[in-house]
Structure 1
Amino acid sequence: MKKRDTIDGKLVMQFQSGNKQALTHLVKRWHKTFCEKANWLVKDTDVAKDIVQDSWQVIISKINQLKDPYSFSSWASRIVYTKSLDWLKASKRKQNHLENYKYEQEVDNLETKEKESIKAQLLKTIKTLPEHQQMVIKLFYVQDYSLKEISSVLNISVGTTKSRLFHAREKLKQILKYRNYEN
């Protein structure tokens, strides 16, 4: 048994017996070592300090349950190690979540750009139609007018409205099919 383990064991037994100063000595002896161990694992000094602080809370809350006081160094080091690994796992999950979010945003942006491109192409194509067909298409699809409302606005019969809408759709289909927008 190392001298260090003997000293730690005695301090643990003193603390378990009610000597609160013994804990202060343990903290002074181990805090820097625990910070170095955590920092070696997580590669961030501030995070390592937080991990060690959390580890001390666990150590203090469970030190009275430590059956072999002379194993303090390995027992407490294991707590620091486990807390460090927990932080790394949580950090990895957070990183994965952020990467997934970023990917989803990029996909959404691409879809939006693609939709805008198709919409622009469609509007350009609509402008190639005769004026009377453009008007019917715009009123029906853009402004959501019913066939009856369109016939009233344009002062034409419902049958003529249907006919213009049908012919406009057919011309759009042909143009878009030719440009490979429709299968």
Structure 2
Amino acid sequence: MHKKNHISDGELVTQYVSGNQKALATLVKRFHKTFCNHAYWIVKDSEVAKDIAQDSWKLIIDKVATLQNPARFKSWALRIVHRKSIDWTRTIAKQKQQKNDYKVTKSIRDIPLTDISQEKQQLKKAISKLSISQQQVVQLFYVHELSLKDIANTLKISVGTAKSRLYHAREHIKKQLKK
């Protein structure tokens, strides 16, 4: 079902690089929906997918002159869209992890000092003097009852680092409680 006047992608790229703006418009009409669909397949959000496709077009337009084989435009451009989509999902995952890390440390501080025994008040005070990373490990180990392996996975650290933080946190708490 090809039209008689169908121009290949490679020819359109060559024409655009030579200065023909209509060739770019034809490429955009031909591929924009494909780019949006590909981005949506990865990010699962239509508005974000449209933004990724738009950002990808900016990069494609800037770099199309460096394309060595214009006939491979579609796969080259889709690879750009794919990478931008993956980058977006990684950024969102990182932001969620940072938000969860903040919630863990914040929850220790939210334990009220009233209505608890003197010993518990001293313990809470000693925990609050720990570094944030040690507070996280203490919270996950004692409050959420996670194993060291699960703590390591949650905080994206090695099991050895989790053990070390827990050990040093315990030692610091012991010193604080002896005072």
TM-score range, shorter chain: 0.5 to 0.7
Work out whether 1:96 is the aligned partner of 2:97: yes
Distance in 1 separating the partners of 2:90 and 2:55: 16
Q: Does 1:13 align with 2:11?
A: no
Structure ID, larger Rg: 1
Q: Which residue of 114, 117, 125 maps to 2:115?
A: 117
5+ long unaligned stretches in structure 2: 119-176
Aligned to 2:43: 42
Other structure's SS at 2:13 match: helix
Q: For the residues of structure 2 that align with 1:46 and 1:107, how far apart are their CA atoms?
A: 37
Give 1:8's aligned amino acid.
Answer: D
Aligned mates of 2:84, 2:115 — CA distance in 1:
51
Match of 2:79?
A: 78
Taking the aligned partners of 1:93 and 1:116, their CA distance within structure 2 comes to 36
1:164 paired residue number: none
Which deviations, in whole Å up to 9, do the C-alpha atoms of 1:147-166 show, x marking residues without a partner?
A: xxxxxxxxxxxxxxxxxxxx
Cα drift, residue 31 of structure 1: 0.2
Distance 2:115 2:79 in 1: 58
Distance across 2 between alignment mates of 1:49 and 1:117:
53
Q: Residue type of the partner of 1:26?
A: L
C-alpha separation between the residues in 2 aligned to 1:83 and 1:36?
13
Of Structure 1 and Structure 2, which has the larger fraction of its residues in helix?
1
Q: Which runs of at least 4 in structure 1 moved beyond 3 Å after TM superposition?
A: none
How far off its partner does 1:108 sit? Answer: 1.3
Q: Distance in 2 between matches of 1:98 and 1:82?
A: 24
Q: CA RMSD in A?
A: 2.3
Q: Could you tell me which runs of 5 or more consecutive residues in structure 1 were left unpaired when the two chains were aligned.
A: 123-181
Task: Kindly provide the amino acid, as one letter, of the partner of residue 45 in structure 2.
Answer: D
- 1:72-115 per-residue CA deviation (whole Å, 9 max, x = no partner) reads 000000000000000001000001011111222212112xx2x3
Question: In 2, distance between residues paired with 1:7 and 1:64?
Answer: 17
Please report the TM-score for the alignment, with normalisation by the length of structure 2: 0.61
- The Cα shift of 1:52 comes to 0.6
Structure 1: distance between partners of 2:108 and 2:34:
46
What is the alpha-carbon distance in structure 2 between the residues aligned to residue 12 and residue 105 of structure 1?
A: 54
Task: Say whether residues 1:68 and 2:69 are aligned partners.
Answer: yes
Amino acid corresponding to residue 73 of structure 1 in structure 2: K
Q: How many residues align?
A: 117
| TM-score, normalising length: structure 1 | 0.59
